[in-house]
Amino acid sequence: MGDLFGDAPSAEPRPRSQAGDVGSQTGGRRDGTAEPPRPLADRLRPKQLLEVVGQEHLTGPGGALTRMLANRSLGSLIFWGPPGTGKTTVARLLAREVDYAFEQISAIFSGVADLKKVFESARLRRTNGRITLLFVDEIHRFNRAQQDSFLPVMEDGTVVLVGATTENPSFELNAALLSRARVLTFQSLSPESLGRLVGRAEEETGRALPLNDQARDLLLQLADGDGRAVLTLAEEVWRAAAKDETLDAETLLSVVQRRAPIYDKGQDGHYNLISALHKSVRGSDVDAALYWLCRMLDAGENPLYLGRRLVRMASEDIGLADPRALTVALAAKDAYDYLGSPEGELALAEATAYLAAAPKSNAVYVAYKAAMRAAKEHGSLLPPKHILNAPTGLMKDEGYGSGYLYDHDQPDGFSGQDYFPSEMGRQNFYQPTGRGEEGPLSEHLERLARLRHERGRR
């Protein structure tokens, strides 16, 4: 599970291949046969940190790693970022810069026995005066106990750990491990950075990529910030293009088909996108909300999950400013459940647009949390006796129901009595915003409050 240009040490440069002979560089084997083609990403691995593309905040002048290397000493690090951003490559180059022995394992294929062997080798090197940089790819896939096994060898200097992960370290790595390592964030490559990689590929092959401007821009978009992906796509284009052919955007899509977006329904991608959808609805941005909805649908998210989230948004962020929002959200969920895909997605889009455009109020949400807090704090207080039923004579003698005023028989249909426990006193949880339909509702509640005050039943 290597990273951009990071699966193996850089080889010595070879003569440039002839135009159109992409990936066919060969070298002589002892038996006289040609070596298998080397992928373009392998041939273009950087030889020094300054050649790493897209991570200038780490590897450029004044970057975090550049400053560390100025002291010729490294501490343990966690590289966090999406695939194809150079994590493995940078780890190799760091080891080379400070002359540490480089060991690489993958958490997918390694277990406790493998770790013990690596640690023993590192201890032996240390007795001979050499430090080991241990690079652990997909480190988040180690369980908690396996992660703990790194702590002693990190503390006694047996290894300098560099772990790579595509998942949020705060959720996936032990606090003890994180406390001993610095987290550095790798960024998805910008279109400009991807374009620089394509330029290097063209220089390496001696041939321009046979795409018009629109198709070239589309190629960079399809790479989705992944440097390895953009070079793989470029190789596909060179293989598919006929002599003297220039591909347009439509032809490019047919050649490379479609690259699935980076999205793990159980991990960060899932939570990041649902957060973007929710906040776009809350921020009343219909277009952005529809975009994030479609991003998740396009990535294979369960539409019924999105329907449930829309129901939550209707209650939390709209509430009584537009009580119909909850009905619309529930109807959209039921419509998808009834129609299925692809017809049902349109109902989810309709609900998303409605919720984003609706007036917003979290007054009910805030009131609910305040009421729940009060319920927990005040314990098992009894309701006031005047609102308790008295089905037996004994209960009547105890005062149950005494003094209760039937609201429908009172002026304005409102008695204004206190319904809170007497030990607690009257509370005010719900404070409408005045937006949307909470405007007239607010006026109505203010009128009732005045009547309650006038009748001495605060």
Considering the entire predicted model, what is its pTM?
0.61
Report the amino acid identity of residue 266. Answer: G
Q: Are 337 and 406 in contact (CB under 8 A)?
A: no
pLDDT per residue as tens digits for the range 201-246: 999 888 999 999 999 998 998 888 899 999 999 999 998 888 889 9
Q: Name the residue among 371, 457, 372, 376 with its Cα closest to residue 422.
A: 457
Tokens of 422: 């007497």
> Coil, helix or strand for 125?
helix
- Give burial (CB, 10 Å; 0-12/13-18/19+) of 97: middle
For residue 342, cis peptide bond before it (omega within 30 degrees of 0): yes
Average pLDDT value for the chain:
86
Average of per-residue pLDDT across 341-357: 94
Q: How far is CA 394 from CA 173, 301, 383, 445, in A?
A: 63, 60, 18, 37
pLDDT of residue 264 exceeding 70, the answer is no
pLDDT of residue 19 exceeding 50, the answer is no
Alpha carbon distance 150, 152 (integer Å)? 6
Q: What is the dihedral of CA 258, 261, 262, 265, to 10 degrees?
A: -120
The predicted structure's pLDDT at residue 11: 35
For residue 83, cis peptide bond before it (omega within 30 degrees of 0): no
> Degrees (nearest 5) of the Cα angle 120, 101, 180?
70
The dihedrals phi and psi of 140, each to the nearest 5 degrees, come to -65, -15
Domains in the chain: ranges and CATH: 46-185 (3.40.50.300), 275-357 (1.20.272.10), 365-454 (1.10.3710.10)
Average of per-residue pLDDT across 12-27: 40
Q: Which stretches of 104-179 are DSSP H helices? A: 112-127, 144-148, 150-155, 169-172, 175-179
Most confident of 376-385, 425-434, 448-457: 425-434
pLDDT per residue as tens digits for the range 102-118: 999 999 888 888 899 99
Q: In which band, very low, low, confident or very high, does the pLDDT at 422 lie, cut at 50, 70 and 90? A: confident
The dihedrals phi and psi of 398, each to the nearest 5 degrees, come to -80, 0
> Degrees (nearest 5) of the Cα angle 180, 183, 186?
155
Residues 6+ apart with CB under 8 A from 203: none
The predicted structure's pLDDT at residue 10: 36
Residues 6+ apart with CB under 8 A from 284: 356, 357, 358, 360
Residue 295: other Cβ atoms inside 10 A: 16
Q: Are 40 and 25 in contact (CB under 8 A)?
A: no
pLDDT of residue 129 exceeding 80, the answer is yes
The predicted structure's pLDDT at residue 113: 86
Tokens of 368: 């609910």
> Coil, helix or strand for 101?
strand
- The structure tokens 């003094």 sit at 403
pLDDT of residue 458 exceeding 70, the answer is no
pLDDT of residue 344 exceeding 60, the answer is yes
Q: Name the residue among 313, 359, 290 with its Cα closest to residue 305.
A: 313
pLDDT per residue as tens digits for the range 350-376: 999 999 999 999 999 999 999 999 988
Average of per-residue pLDDT across 419-448: 90
The predicted structure's pLDDT at residue 5: 43
> Degrees (nearest 5) of the Cα angle 230, 231, 237?
90
Residue 244: other Cβ atoms inside 10 A: 6
pLDDT of residue 16 exceeding 60, the answer is no
The dihedrals phi and psi of 28, each to the nearest 5 degrees, come to -80, 130
pLDDT per residue as tens digits for the range 288-332: 999 999 989 988 888 999 999 999 999 999 999 999 999 999 999
Q: Which stretches of 340-400 are DSSP H helices? A: 345-357, 363-378, 393-397
Q: Name the residue among 64, 59, 81, 193 with its Cα closest to residue 137.
A: 81
Q: Are strands 159-165 and 77-80 parallel, antiparallel or unpaired?
A: parallel
